[in-house]
Amino acid sequence: MAETTAVPDVGTLMPDFSLISPSGVRTNLHAARAKATTVVYFLRASTCPACLKHARALAELAEADELGGAEVVLVAPGDVDEARRLADRVASSAVSAWASGTAHGTVGMGSFLAVQHSGTFLVSDDDTIRYRRTATLPTRSFDRDELLGALARAR
């Protein structure tokens, strides 16, 4: 089981951790990102309505090319079934869906009083965190305008 650590600061390196795809392929976050500028969104669960709304909003931004070419990686806690459920619920070729097992904690997205934290990270091609927004309540873990502003500053 992954240990929960503090949320990494802007300007530090994004921690790497194992991921599993909807088809059962195992890799890690840095390989899944392919060293591209990436928006990484950590969901509470593949069934969380607020998280799915944010994930779909990211897919729509990517499909409309409003993210400046940044990739979108969606990460739900759990196993291959969670990755598959996430991919089904956010069906878009503009995003990739993964599960992290119990590794959400490696980026400070652990659980507190049975509530799984969620968050949005903008990671540059050199693995540096350029923006982050995390929250205990999923309605606060994504802000479209903040993210677009961070992407504009990163260019």
Give the CATH number for residue 72. 3.40.30.10
Does residue 4 fall inside a structural domain?
no
Helix (H, G, I), strand (E, B) or coil at 76: strand
The residue with greater pLDDT, 152 or 138, is: 152
Does residue 36 fall inside a structural domain?
yes
**Six token digits for residue 132:** 């982050």
Does residue 67 fall inside a structural domain?
yes
Angstrom CA distances, 15 to 3, 19, 49, 67, 103, stand at 13, 12, 27, 22, 10
The H or E element spanning position 115 is strand 115-116
Nearest to 147 by CA among 22, 54, 64: 54
Angstrom CA distances, 7 to 77, 93, 117, stand at 16, 29, 11
Question: What is the value of pTM for the model shown?
Answer: 0.93
Please give the tally of structural domains in the chain: 1
CA atoms within 13 A on the CB side of 44: 23
What range does the domain containing 51 cover?
Answer: 18-154
Residue 1 has pLDDT above 60, yes or no: no
Does residue 142 fall inside a structural domain?
yes
The DSSP code for 66 is T
pLDDT tens-digit map of 60-106: 999 999 999 999 999 999 999 999 999 999 999 999 999 999 888 88
What local confidence, expressed as pLDDT, does residue 99 receive? 98
pLDDT tens-digit map of 119-133: 999 999 999 999 999
149 φ, ψ (degrees, to nearest 5): -65, -40
